[in-house]
Structure 1
Amino acid sequence: MANALNVKPTRMELSNLKESLDVAERGHKLLKDKQDELMRQFIDLIKENNELRKQVEEELSGALQNFVLASSTMNDAFVDELVAIPTQEATLEIHRKNVMSVTVPEMQFHYSEEKEDKEKDLSYGYLNTSSELDESLNVMNAVLPNLLKLSEIEKTCQLMADEIESTRRRVNALEHRMIPDHQETIKYIEMKLEEDERASITRMMKVKDMGEEE
């Protein structure tokens, strides 16, 4: 429910309130457009996130099944020794980008290449290992970029959801509180000024009548 603001019913206040109302209405439109665009991008990201998550989970599930199967036929200490030494150094770069005034992460994953053997992916030979272990490690290595992309999208969704909620509160405050209160106050001041103007005209007419009688 709109409430009139506690201001003096003067023409100066009326002018100030009309300017403030104009700013509030323009701000409301901009925020509403921003909210709609954020929602559109958020929904697109959610769809992309669901598809990528399904793909990553399927790949990891198959890789883990192969790894468990391979581990069941091999000595645990031997398996630990096989994967203890990495063949490549991995680096993660996190940049920031602005999406509708929301600062979101942009991640890049890099492998350092070995000078002696750039095509070497595993730190062991194939002689004493099973094909399931080889396949599982290859899949896990290949799925890392998508896994990183998934974490980037999910963090972006979280940040955009927070911004959508913040924007929604501001839109509602303008739409249901500030703008109606200003409109109600402007209406009240205009009615008060019209009433004062009618009273002033009535007084002037009475003074004129009294002057004519004298």
Structure 2
Amino acid sequence: MPQQGSLRATRMELMQFKTRLKTATRGHKLLKDKQDGLIRSFLDLVKKNRELREEVEVELVKALKNFLMARAVMSPDIIEESLIYPARSIDIKVTTRNIMSVNVPKITLKEKEKSKGLSYGLATTSAELDDAIKVMGDVLPKLLELAEIEKTCQLLADEIEKTRRRVNALEYVMIPQLEENIRFINMKLEENERANTARLMKVKEIIAK
């Protein structure tokens, strides 16, 4: 932004500054609307994240308790042998979706083949181990959704901060400076107009004499 001492007090310069002010004002409104939309989306996701995290923590605590109970009644070798083969085969696909011009992750879980139940026999295992494995299988989709939401919240928070800085730069720096330059040029043009009027009146007086 040029300093006032270097401004040219011309009508062309005035028109250019008015055009820039109009553009900056429109850009400020668009960015402010974007910021408000980002904040609304962010707050909705934060609420959902908190609720889902509470659900996941309850399920994980339940699974951990069952594993501890299983370890108390089963030997480590039997537990390792029971868990060495996976009961399910899944694909995890990560794509993106757009929220207010921000690309955020979309995680999709797909089971390769229908689960056939547990991957081990029930003769040497405890019911607690069965329950723990079932809980962990059930909680996996929620864990992936939680990871998706938390990453989305992080990306939205970063974008909110960048947008806020741009809004503030326009609102508190660029727009006030443009308005000040317009006032300065208007003042100079008015001064020039008064000076020209005074000169014309002086010329008329000289001619009249």
Q: If the TM-score is normalised by the length of the shorter chain, which range does it land in?
A: over 0.9
The alpha carbon displacement at 1:119 in A equals 4.7
The residue type equivalent to 2:68 in the other structure is V
The residue type equivalent to 2:178 in the other structure is H
Alignment map for 1:33-182 (pairs within 5 Å): 33-113=33-113, 118-182=114-178
SS in 1 for 2:19: helix
% same residue: 52
Q: Deviations over 1:15-72 (max 9, x none)?
A: 0000100010011001001101110110000000000000000001011111011012
Superposed CA RMSD in Å reads: 1.2
Q: Structure 2 length normalisation: TM-score?
A: 0.96
The residue type equivalent to 1:107 in the other structure is I
The residue type equivalent to 2:122 in the other structure is Y
Query: Of the candidates 188, 191, 208, which is equivalent to residue 195 of structure 1?
Result: 191
Q: What residue number does 2:11 align with?
A: 11
Q: Say whether 1:205 aligns with 2:195.
A: no
The residue type equivalent to 2:161 in the other structure is E
SS in 2 for 1:128: coil
Distance 1:109 1:119, change over 3 A: closer
Mapped to 2, the partners of 1:109 and 1:5 lie a distance apart of 64
The alpha carbon displacement at 1:4 in A equals 4.8
Q: Structure 1 length normalisation: TM-score?
A: 0.94
Unaligned runs of 5+ in 1: none
Report how many residues are paired. Answer: 207
